[in-house]
Chains A and B, each alone.
Chain A
Amino acid sequence: MQTPYQILDVAVDANDKAIKQAYLQQVKNNPPDRNQQRFQLIHDTYTSIKDHKSRVAHNLFTLQAADFNTILDKALHTKQVGTTVSAESFNKLLSISMDDTSLLNAFADADNT
């Protein structure tokens, strides 16, 4: 399974502009008119990492379970969360903490490190 960065052939720490350039290069080499499926993959890939917000979302989904818990702990400043977090409980936690700015900061940290 290739990562988005591999598909677009761009460095993992690349900025918005570099990612966009890599995307356009891939589009030029794989025009939608020649191979619709390939183009769709490239476009979806680009959408998944095109800006800070999408990269945060992408990173969240691809986190290792251990890292995931660390971030959650950090975000919530608590050691109460058990070692296994189900999707539902995470969802609940997220919605409870919507106005908790520390959570958002934690996400930003995750993106920068």
Chain B
Amino acid sequence: MNDIIIGIDLGTTNAEVSIVENGKVRVIADGDSKMLPSFVGIDDNGQVIVGETARNQYLVYPERTIKSIKRQMGQDTHVVLAEQSYTPQEISAIILKRLKSIAENDLGQTVSKAVITVPAYFSDAQRQATREAGEIAGLEVVRMINEPTAAALAYDANQSESKHVLVYDLGGGTFDVSVVNIESGVVEVLSSHGDNQLGGDDFDQQIVDYLLAQIQDTYQVNVRAHSKAMARITRAAEEAKFLLSDQPYAQIEEEYLLEHEGVAIHLSHELSRMAYEEMIDDYINATLDAVHIALKGARFTTADIDEIILVGGSTRTPCIRERLLNEFGFEPHSEVNPNLCVTIGAAIQAAMIAGQEVDTVLVDVTPYTYGTSAIGSLDGSPYPFMYVPIIHKNTVLPSRKSDAFATSYDGQEAVEITLYQGEDPDALNNVKIGEFRVEGLLDVASGNVITLTLALDLNGMLQVSAQEKDTGLEKCIIIKNALSEFEGDALDTAKQRINSLLGQMDPRVIEDQPPEEKTGIIAPEIVAAGELISKAECLFGKVSNEDKEDMSDLIETLKNCIDAKDIQGLDDLTRELQDIIYYLES
């Protein structure tokens, strides 16, 4: 029996998990909900909460609730949650752990592998951060697939006639567009483009800014400093947006938003769909520009497209359908739920990797160009950082491409090779993703040939090697673009940290716990012991081997007691461990 691999859509606003069983995809529901809101918070009791509860708490305690963490993935930044600082990877890991436990509860067995979807236009750094979030959550990310491609997989691919489909994927935080050819059970991506910082959140923000201006006009109050009022306005804006999908007007009512100099401030405003559509017009234009870039990448015009698939909750905005109808002359499809088709595609891909028979095979492309810099010319003048693309945008993955370069002066014994991601003819305007040096070259005249080879795998991970043609001298690197803080052991530390945070606070997401215990009430002594164990384990790195051994033995015995639910036996042991920790910390 193969390992179970789950399919996860880790969205900006909602996350979902699904699986293929007996050849059919099933989105795994948590209770009666198939979508887990991507909110993480700490509640009144200091417990970690995820999903709907955290989403509700956001209104009251925005300072200890985090939303839309996906927009910060891949950035070297931290978010603060109840006075503790976390990386975006750690927050995403908490959501992933919840999805993992939802799946485990449902399937009645542990799950350790997943296919996770990412926006097609996610950069190297954003992909790497997603992979790290998986690792922290205890999930091996066997493959990352692009969201619009996953959506196309969920679509019936078995007609033998070639069909050109445009996937328009507008989520909470990102926009992707892909042109795919669906034929004889193969989904071939022909081109992809997008914007990894454009989504429904920006639409909400437009409404928020508009409402803030209204309040400013009426009351001369700047609400921005009041986090609770801001959270309520943000939610009201989002709800108004949903209403405007179905009706021409939305009434926004928020009473007692805050008190300002003894005056109670109420928000009451009627927003028309027309006014709203005007606010988001620039964003919609940007998405249509991207659509045309993607069409051009596939060497198509609008007339070559047979069907349009809409993906992502934000595509419910009526003007998007209208604009696409105007551009293409026919209505987009939305038979598959735009919120669920990505997770469904992830599950199909997971099943394929696990070795199950599936109807559809995927061939994807890279949305980015990768290359290096060389002495050359820019706009007709000599320039030392001319961009030399090696793997072009929209190349089928995996791909391996080589190019030859020559040394520029006699006796040159080393070359510096810098790798970039981007399209600009000036390498310095592209994103630098790595560099390395080849030394010990032959002492010969200029023109010594160095072959540079780039290999990009299915996950978008790049491997680079350079070889001196005459000697075979070779050097290579793998570009993972890991954020410096997650090099080496740091990932393990983050994993432990998140484990202990969840372990002591939210028994429902403890790893490897049999499902029947997850709903049961856990004795406070056991919770305290669990806390103590993780505290002790955190000290392991700082103490002598002897102390470590003592603690390990104690922890072992403690764990046995916990397993046996021997509350009385715990008493002495916890005190003993507490003493050691006290002694070590002082």
Contact = CB atoms under 8 A, between A and B. Distances in A.
Most chain B CB neighbours (cut-off 10 Å) among A21, A28, A33, A40: A33
Contacts of A68: none
Interface in A31-71: 31-34, 36, 39-40, 43
B184 A31 contact: no
Contacts of A21: 184
A110 interface: no
Interface residues of B, number: 20
B191 to A, nearest CB: 16
Given A31-B352, A32-B363, A40-B400, A24 B458 contact: no
A67 to B, nearest CB: 29
A89 interface: no
Contact of A24 (B184, B352, B364, B397): B184
Given A25-B184, A27-B186, A31-B352, A40 B362 contact: no
B297 interface: no
B496 to A, nearest CB: 32
Most chain B CB neighbours (cut-off 10 Å) among A20, A24, A39: A24
A33 B399 CA distance: 13
Contacts of B457: 36
B574 interface: no
Contacts of A27: 186, 361, 363
A32 B184 contact: no
Contacts of A43: 363, 396
B64 interface: no
Contacts of B400: 40
A40 B398 contact: yes
Interface string A68-99: 00000000000000000000000000000000
Nearest to A17: B162
Nearest to A40: B398
Nearest to B349: A33
B362 A31 contact: yes
A34 B397 CA distance: 13
A39 B400 CA distance: 12
Contacts of B425: none
Contacts of A36: 398, 457-458
Contacts of B143: 33
Contacts of A39: 363, 398
Q: Main secondary structure on chain A at its contact with chain B?
A: helix
Interface residues of A, number: 14
B188 to A, nearest CB: 8
Contacts of B399: 40
A40 B184 CA distance: 19
B364 to A, nearest CB: 8
A33 B398 contact: no
B509 to A, nearest CB: 29
A53 to B, nearest CB: 14
B353 interface: yes
Contact of A32 (B183, B185, B398): B398
A28 B363 CA distance: 10
A20 B161 CA distance: 12
Interface in B336-394: 349, 352-353, 355, 361-364
Interface in A1-45: 20-21, 24-25, 27-28, 31-34, 36, 39-40, 43
A75 B536 CA distance: 82
Given A21-B184, A36-B458, A31 B361 contact: yes
Contacts of B398: 32, 36, 39-40
Nearest to A43: B396
A28 B183 CA distance: 11
Nearest to B400: A40
A14 B361 CA distance: 24
A31 B363 CA distance: 8
Interface in B111-157: 143
Contacts of B397: 32
A39 B457 CA distance: 12
A38 to B, nearest CB: 11
Interface string B157-195: 000000000000000000000000001111000000000
Interface string B451-487: 0000001100000000000000000000000000000
A104 to B, nearest CB: 22
Given A33-B362, A34-B352, 15 more contacts: A21-B184, A24-B184, A24-B185, A24-B186, A27-B361, A28-B185, A32-B364, A33-B458, A34-B353, A34-B355, A36-B398, A39-B398, A40-B398, A40-B399, A43-B396
Instruction: In the A-B complex, list the 10 residue pairs whose CB atoms are closest, starting with the nearest.
Output: A31-B361, A24-B184, A24-B186, A36-B398, A33-B353, A27-B186, A28-B361, A43-B396, A28-B185, A40-B398
19 contacts: A20-B183, A24-B183, A24-B186, A25-B184, A27-B186, A27-B361, A27-B363, A28-B184, A28-B186, A28-B361, A31-B361, A32-B362, A32-B397, A33-B362, A34-B353, A36-B458, A39-B363, A40-B399, A43-B396
